Structure formats: structure tokens, C-alpha cells
Structure 1
């Protein structure tokens, strides 16, 4: 599958001499996290991200009349429109960037984020995560999203994985009275895109993201910054789950809402952790009852699923047979080593044939 099937197109672009305040406004209005920076002829010069704006501009208190060229990343890491999803996935892993301009003839024709691929992976493997359990019970009323209630557990049935098994218990949050600068500093320090907002008694009342900060930048300039607190910045109410929510339900909620991470709360709405898209994929791999499914998730962690569209995985009594055609640039020994790390694998037989010479990463 080519990138045109999953990229966002056409991209919202910006010129290098545009003021940062205008770039922030464009980003917030389009609800995107990255703008390609283009020359007058449409050729790509670099990119400016929400992280660039929040860390290099808002957090530092730089002049809002400063231009995009002052904070943009250049040259940008790009991927060609005729490349495969697998190529983009490996480029993300190799470079550490989270967004790639998709180019044709040196001009951006779309944007692809690593989150796009994670969402695609969650959607593809939703059935392996298990059936809908009904633990997500929400009501989009005038009051907004209601946190899902704990599910009823059948103590006589087999034990099933829950969000509490895979969530992070690191409690990174801000109080509702935290200032704009305090929120920005926390996002920068923990290198995260969002943070829950807590009331005085520890209940989760909202979430502040980098996008919320960008949307508020005009308001910040117009009044005393000390009055612009997390309570006014946050998106509320927060979309949350409970520790005993089924991973399948949390995954579907993340996909449906386009989120990266969910705060995890107890029965009194107090923060007890957070769960990320990647946590749910890992949970699916660990708790898959079928050995072949566990192997597929291990492969997913290394290479995007599209790379294995020409492979078949069979497992019988600890023996895993991998047949078909290997993705380009990946050898049989590398795949066998990965599969042997999966619990329950006793022996590996890789009969898959190589696809050919390795692809050249990067673009000219």
C-alpha cells in the first residue's frame, strides 16, 4: 500500500516569512500538529511543528512577530509519495521524527504522522484485541463526555487483560490553577503532548494539550498571563477509562476520538495512571491466546503490518513457520531472532523468500 492511502492531503503549508502567531493560528484552525514550510515556487524548505511553537516560542516568551524561519526545522526528513507504508514506518524508527512531509518532485503533497500508522495498526488488529465488552459507557450529552463506569467482572470466567495491567503509573498532571507557563514547562520537561488537569481533591476535570496552548496564544497576549490558568486552557470534560476497562474498548475509544493517550481514573475520578496507544498494542500481543497471534504482534512492533502482507504465520506446539516473502531489507536471521523472543516459541522455521535488495532510506 502506498502512502497516498493513509496520508493527510492536501497539506496546510506556510511561508518562511509568516509570523509565528499566524502559523499557530493556522495550525489550530486546521487541527494539525505540523506545517510544511514552502518557498514561493512550492518547494519544501522545512517544517514547523506544534512542539517548535510551544517550546521554542511560547515557552521562551519570544516576540510573536518573529517569523517561522526562526524556529522551523530544516532540512526536513521527507518520504516520497510512491514509497510504501513500510518504508515510512522504518524511516520513523530510524530518524525519531513523528511527522513526515510526503513529497512529489520536491513539493509537499501530504503529511504522514507516526500516529497515523499506530491508529491504522490498532484498527487492523482490533479483532485480536477481543470483542467489545461494554466497559466503555459514555454519553455525549450537553454536559459532555461521561467517564466510563467500571465493568462487571465475571469471577467465574477466565481472567482477561485490563487497562490496569498495561497502564503507566507515573502520575504527571497539573492543578487547575497552574499558569500557562507552568503547563508549558511541564509538557517540555516530560516531552509529552498533553497532561491531565486535576481539581483540588485530585479528580481529573480536563486535559491540556499543545493544541490547547496554541489556540490560547492570542488570549495570552491580550491579558495578564497569570489569569490564563489550566482551568481556562483545558479541554473538558476529559475522556478517561478505568483500570478494569478492556484493552479492546480503550483501543476503540482512542481510534474513534483520535487520541494518543487516555488518563486512567478510579471510581472517584481520581488519577491513577495513563494508557498510550502503544501500551494497548503491546497488551494485545502479550495476551493473545494463539501463539501465531503473539508472533504477529511481535512482528508489528518491528515493522508495519503492511510489510507482512505477503507472509503467513503458522504455529503448532511451539513450532512457528513463516512462509511467503520477506519485507525488503529484513533478513531471515533477523526475523527468526525476533520470533524466538516470543513466549511459547520453541522452534522457528523461516521458509519465506527475500524480496530483493534493501531499499535506500531517505529522499533526494
Structure 2
């Protein structure tokens, strides 16, 4: 999966001369939190996020009147508050590498640039949505996690057990636990005889860490 497969294309942009007030209106109108800044040739020169607009406003302790505040923000241009240089990514970059870059650079988005022109934007929300899809969340089926020996053929045997039980694999992810660095496989499948599959997994050379016939969780609210 590449960045171009998950990015938002033709992102909303602004000019360095765009005012704070205009930027707020743009973000509200298009329901976005990131605003790439481009010059008149379309070249990326900076970026403004919602947090920047918030911090640019006077604090509640200000002695300015409402009129003075509005007047100030109507003159404040994005070139005065934008972040630069901007971390970017190419359309053909693997999505996991883009996510790694966002973590390492502590940013919530990466403009996607091709031949010096911005063609899209990939955000942390896009990464979350991809993660949800990869794990098959929201789709009906059973979910199980196994600790396996990191050797050829392990996944094939598990997949065969699912097939023998009449199941179809919806998603499969291999991962390492951050605490013990052991290899785990999480699979979501639909249609298998749940008890038959459970017995088959118990008989294999794997450790069943978690198995759920109905994995959906309901949110709990407080306050």
C-alpha cells in the first residue's frame, strides 16, 4: 500500500498572504485541520495547522476589545505564522514509511509532492483508517491472535486450519510485541466453524493469546 492509495487528492491550500480569518473560514468550510501554503506558482512553501491559528489569537487575558481582536486577525497573514520547511512525502512512498516519518518528526500530516507540485496530503487520520481496515474492524467474523515460531510455513498452516473449518480470511497481520519482541499473528475470518477452528488451533504448535467469536466492542461513556 502506497501513500497515493490513501492520500486525499487536490488538497485545499492557501497563499502566504491569506489572512488568519480567511484560513479559519477555509478550515471550517472544508472540515480540515491542515492547510498547506503554496506560492503563486503552486510550489509548497509552508504549512499551517489548526493549533497554529489557535496560538496566534490573543489570550483570554488580553485587554484588546473584540473589535480590535477581529481587526488584528484580519490583518495577520499566514506567512507570519506558517511552519517551514515542510516535511513532505512522494506519492509512491510506502504508507508505513510515511507513518514512521510522521512519528519521528512529530507531525500530524505530510503534504504529498510530485515534481515540486503538491498533489495530495496524507494525515494521521488516514493512517488510523488504514489500520482499522487492515485489521478488518467493523466486518463480521471471528478474531484470533497467536504467538508463533518465526519460521517458514507457520502462516500457511494457520491459514489451512481456517480453510478446513470453512472460514475465509478477511485480514491477517503479523506483528511484534513491544515488550517481549515475540512474533504474533492476528487473523480475522468469517464463516468458520468456530469450535472446530478453536480445537485445530489448540492442537497446533502455537500459543493462542486471544480468540473472540464476536470481537466488536461498544464504547463506554463517563461524565
* TM-score, length-scaled by structure 1: 0.39
How many Å separate the matches in 2 of 1:346 and 1:197? 46
| Aligned residue in 1 for 2:222 | 363
**Equivalent in the alignment of 1:319:** 162
- Which position in structure 2 is the counterpart of 1:190? 30
Contact conserved, 2:170 with 2:190, CA < 8 A, in 1? no
Q: CA deviation at 1:354?
A: 7.4
Q: Identify the match of residue 298 of structure 1 among 132, 136, 146.
A: 136
**Which residue of structure 2 lines up, in the alignment, with residue 348 of structure 1?**
192
Assess if the C-alpha contact under 8 Å between 1:320 and 1:345 holds in 2.
no
Q: Can you list the C-alpha shifts for 1:268-290, whole angstroms capped at 9, x where unaligned?
A: 1x11011123433555687xxxx
Distance across 1 between alignment mates of 2:20 and 2:219? 44
Q: Select 1:239's aligned residue among 87, 105, 109.
A: 87
More strand by share: 2
2:162, 2:169 within 8 Å by CA — same for their partners in 1? no
| Separation in structure 1 between the aligned mates of residue 6 and residue 58 of structure 2, nearest angstrom | 39
Q: Is the 8 A contact 2:57 2:73 kept in 1?
A: no
Alignment of 1:29-48 (within 5 A): none
Normalising by structure 2, we get a TM-score of 0.60
- Tell me the alpha carbon deviations over residues 159-193 of structure 1, each in whole angstroms, 9 at most, x when there is no partner: xx321122111421111111111100011112222
Contact 1:198/1:205 (<8 A) preserved: yes
Unaligned 5+ segments in structure 2 are 60-67, 148-154, 173-187, 199-210
Q: Which residue of 2 aligns with 1:146?
A: none
Corresponding residue for residue 122 of structure 2: 275
2:8 corresponds to which residue?
A: 168
Which whole-Å deviations, capped at 9, do the CAs of 1:11-64 have from their partners, x for residues lacking one? xxxxxxxxxxxxxxxxxxxxxxxxxxxxxxxxxxxxxxxxxxxxxxxxxxxxxx
Q: Deviations over 1:220-261 (max 9, x none)?
A: 849744431111121112221111112121010111223222
Contact 1:173 / 1:198 at 8 angstroms: preserved in 2?
Answer: yes
Asked if residue 203 in structure 1 is aligned to residue 50 in structure 2, the reply is no
Equivalent-residue separation in structure 2 for 1:321 and 1:191 (angstroms): 47
Aligned-pair CA distance for 1:199: 0.8
Higher CA-based Rg: 2
Q: Does 1:179 align with 2:19?
A: yes
